Chain A
């Protein structure tokens, strides 16, 4: 695993896969937007508001995916002291928080015309707000410590504690009575989503995943560059010390 700990190797790898991700993301995004906004039919109940699903549901997926990545990176960082894993977690947090904000905001805009309210404190919506605070808490802990190693450890522990929230988000709609409807995609048997609506949803899902990965690679480059600057500043201040 430490083969990937070499930043130079990581940067080479990331430059090599970036164009491939871009090549998948852009067509999926364009096709997803076209199918979602123009081609797909209206819903029998929700009419045109169903189109909000194509930006809302994939954002919620990425919010969960981002947190899973954050938790896995934190575990690897804590157990194997893998320096790049700590950086990957630090890089993923603001992206995951961004997608969580998209999910909350678009969900609110979807809730008003369909449910009749912008917001309710049901188990699903509340657990997603908790997810946002976990992201923010993780980022705050990174900034709360002078030493990167200590910051990484504190933030990683929070990330691992927060894992309990993921199954709560996923199953909240099944375990408790919520205003939010249960999942449509994971249901087996009868099609819960018409194929004409499933297509843009999945295309947008792939596009969001691509955007997430592109952002993650970019932010990891930022973190690595900032770490090099810190190392240089340290070397310089040591250099300047009278001896």
Chain B
């Protein structure tokens, strides 16, 4: 075998080994790489009250109650719903039906006491007129997350 052919095989084999190792590691660390849990994950994992976590989902339509800086709303992933309480300014993009990610802890009563609320924007970009037209025509795709 010529040296350069041998080097080619060495590099290819090393890359294959590296790729496999990376895939295994990423698979093993799956849970730690997740930035937030959905309300369904939250129920399934039985997260104890007081543990700091992030949850993400859509703000349920009609659930937002604002009283000055205090706001209460529910976030949902379609299957499960979590009640959230937050004190502070909500981000510009926050609205009902919007995807959000919030950091905080569950209290004893099962309400999520949020310390931080971030708006997640979707991958659709369009002018307001187009969005309105899509909504009017009933072609609006609900956000996925």
Contacts and interface: CB of A to CB of B under 8 A. Distances in A.
Do chains A and B directly touch (beta carbons under 8 Å) in the complex? yes
B125 A75 contact: no
A20 interface: no
Contacts of A122: 35
Contact of A184 (B22, B119, B124): B124
Most buried by A among B4, B56, B93: B93
The contact size tier of chain B is 35 or more
- Central interface residue in A46, A115, A190, by most chain B CB within 10 Å: A115
Contacts of A121: 35
Nearest to B19: A164
Interface stretch (B58-66, B67-75, B104-112, B126-134): B126-134
Chain A's interface size range is 35 or more
B118 A75 contact: no
Interface string A22-52: 0000000000000000000111111000100
A70 to B, nearest CB: 15
A5 interface: no
A38 to B, nearest CB: 14
A189 to B, nearest CB: 10
Contacts, number: 118
B91 interface: yes
Contacts of A123: 33, 35
B68 to A, nearest CB: 19
A120 to B, nearest CB: 7
A174 B109 CA distance: 33
Contact of A194 (B7, B90, B118, B125): B125
Given A50-B125, A161-B18, A177-B35, A79 B119 contact: no
Given A115-B121, A116-B91, A196-B127, A75 B11 contact: yes
Contact of A45 (B8, B30, B34, B121): B121
B125 A184 contact: yes
B121 A46 contact: yes
Interface in A132-184: 160-161, 163-164, 168, 175-179, 181-184
Nearest to A125: B35
B52 interface: no
Contacts of B7: 78-79
Q: Among A114, A116, A123, A194, find the residue whose CB has the most chain B CB atoms closer than 10 A.
A: A116
Given A114-B92, A114-B93, A116-B91, A184 B18 contact: no
Contacts of A120: 35, 118
Contacts of A44: 126-128, 130-132
A53 interface: yes
Given A113-B92, A179-B118, 9 more contacts: A43-B125, A115-B93, A120-B35, A123-B33, A123-B35, A164-B18, A181-B121, A192-B124, A197-B126
In order of increasing CB-CB distance, the 5 nearest A-B pairs are: A116-B91, A41-B127, A44-B131, A122-B35, A194-B126
9 contacts: A43-B126, A43-B127, A116-B92, A117-B116, A117-B118, A164-B19, A164-B22, A175-B33, A176-B33
